[in-house]
Amino acid sequence: MINKIIEIAKEAGQVVRDGFGKSLDIEFKTNESNLVTQIDKASEKLIIEYVHKEYPTHSILAEESGLSENTSEFTWVIDPLDGTTNFAHGLPVFSVSIGVQKNGNTVGGVVYDVMQDIVYSAEAGGGAYANNKRIKVSPNNNLQRALLVTGFPYNIADNPEHAFERFVALTKVSRGMRRLGSAAIDFCYVAKGVFDGFWEVHLHPWDICAGKLILEEAGGIVTGFDGETINIFAVKILASNKHIHPQMLEVINNF
Ligand code: IPD
Ligand code: CA
Ligand code: CA
């Protein structure tokens, strides 16, 4: 199935790439920061049509059209364009993210970095890959030498879960903090050792599903802020190379 997920992620990525820099119909979702464009919708439509054709009994959970339950134990969890704000502003950092779950466990995940043309992929138990080359997390176990990444939810003005305080605390004790604007790419950059850790609050299942599997298959871990295992519906996400996880937990809980 992984080759099928890759195939459709790349096709959707082509739609996104073709739309980049073109005139956009922008609509607001929850507020003026939370955008959706005709390209998000076109990408999602293409992916859903593909699933319907190839796997007519599978369920779908997609960002723009929600949950459509079916009879199968498989569910496709789809973010048709992760990084819409970047996309709409002409910043070439965005992805297509597709995870497939079987009875609630992610069995396959693909994040397609559209402008760099890099396919990140993983199957449960099979390792993680970037364009078919095996990737692994960094060996760094020192938070002071760690490069971290985060993101902010669209309701950041309300400072949910003390996101600002945690941002300050982690920035002070690490080598640096970045904010790229595509959570799916953030997970993959931890998976390939670019970043050592990633944390964010109020992500959605479609931001998490594929990236979490890719990172875990690259040797990393993803937990809540209590260090416990999470599923894709979790509110607080801490993802790392595993080695700096205890140090990040310490800071995230004592800001
Ligand atoms: C967003 C991106 C961003 C993250 C936001 C997400 P979207 O997804 O992943 O990096 O900080 O929380 O909502 O809206 O571009 O699909
Ligand atoms: Ca997203
Ligand atoms: Ca999206």
Q: What is the pLDDT of residues 62-91, one digit of tens each?
A: 999 999 988 899 999 999 999 999 999 999
The count of other CB atoms within 10 Å of the CB of residue 83 is 27
Å from CA of 180 to ligand 2 middle: 12
Q: What is the pLDDT of residues 243-255, one digit of tens each?
A: 999 999 999 999 8
- Helix, strand, coil shares of the chain, percent, nearest 5, are 35, 30, 35
- Which residues in 220-251 are b (16+ Cβ under 10 Å) and which e? bbbbebeeeebebebebbbbbbbbbbebbbeb
CA angle at 135 for the pair 97 and 244, rounded to the nearest 5°: 90
Domains of the chain in sequence order: 2-134 (3.30.540.10), 143-252 (3.40.190.80)
Q: Is the pLDDT of residue 210 over 90?
A: yes
The answer to whether the beta carbons of residues 215 and 207 sit under 8 Å apart is no
108 lines ligand 1 (CB under 6 A): no
**Per-residue pLDDT averaged across 131-148, rounded?**
98
Give the tens place of pLDDT for each residue, 9-58.
999 999 999 999 998 899 899 898 888 999 999 999 999 999 999 999 99
At 177 the pLDDT is: 98
- Tokens 């692994």 belong to 136
**Does ligand 1 have an atom closer than 6 angstroms to the CB of 207?**
yes
Percent of the chain with pLDDT over 70: 100
User: What's the whole-number mean pLDDT along residues 100-116?
Assistant: 98
**Distance from C-alpha of 89 to C-alpha of 78, rounded to nearest angstrom:** 22
Q: Is 183's C-beta closer than 6 angstroms to any atom of ligand 1?
A: yes
Q: How many residues does the chain have?
A: 255
Q: Of the residues 82, 97, 111, 200, which should be mutated to test ligand 1's pocket, given the most ligand atoms within 8 Å of the CB?
A: 82
Provide the pLDDT for residue 35: 87
What is the residue whose two structure tokens read 């002070």? 172
In the predicted model, what is the mean pLDDT of residues 189-213?
Answer: 98
Residue-level pLDDT at 32: 87
Kindly report the protein residue whose alpha carbon is nearest to atom 15 of ligand 1. 83
